[in-house]
Amino acid sequence: MYTAIHAIYHRPSSGCEFFEYEETEGYYLAKCKVLGRYLTKDAAIKCENYWRTCPYRKIGLQMMEVEETTS
Ligand code: SF4
C-alpha cells in the first residue's frame, strides 16, 4: 500500500454496504469488502459518488443473495 495513492484526507463516506474505512495516522484508508482490499483514493471517490452503479456492488449483492438462499 502506498500512502500517495491510498491516503484520503477527509472522512470518506459511501452509501455502499461494502464500503469501509479506517482511520490511521492523520488520514483515512478506504476498503471494499467485495474486492477484499484497500481502495486507491480515486476509486474511493467513485464509491462515494457512483456506488449505485458500481459493478462490484452488484456482484456483492448477488453473493449475499446466494448466501441467504443456501443458509
Ligand atoms: S468498489 Fe463498489 S462494491 Fe466496493 S465499496 Fe466501492 S462502491 Fe462498494
**20-67: per-residue pLDDT in tens?**
999 998 999 999 999 999 999 999 999 999 999 999 999 999 999 998
Identify the band that residue 68 occupies on the pLDDT scale cut at 50, 70 and 90.
Answer: confident
pLDDT the model gives residue 60: 98
CA 4 to chain centre: 18
**Nearest ligand 1 atom to alpha carbon 54:** 2
Q: Which residues line ligand 1 (CB under 6 A)?
A: 14, 16, 18-19, 32, 34-35, 47, 51, 54, 56-57, 60
> How much distance in Å is there from the Cα of 69 to the middle of ligand 1?
23
pLDDT above 80: residue 1: no
For residue 22, the 8-state DSSP code is E
Whose CA is closest to 5, among 23, 30, 25? 30
pLDDT above 90: residue 69: no
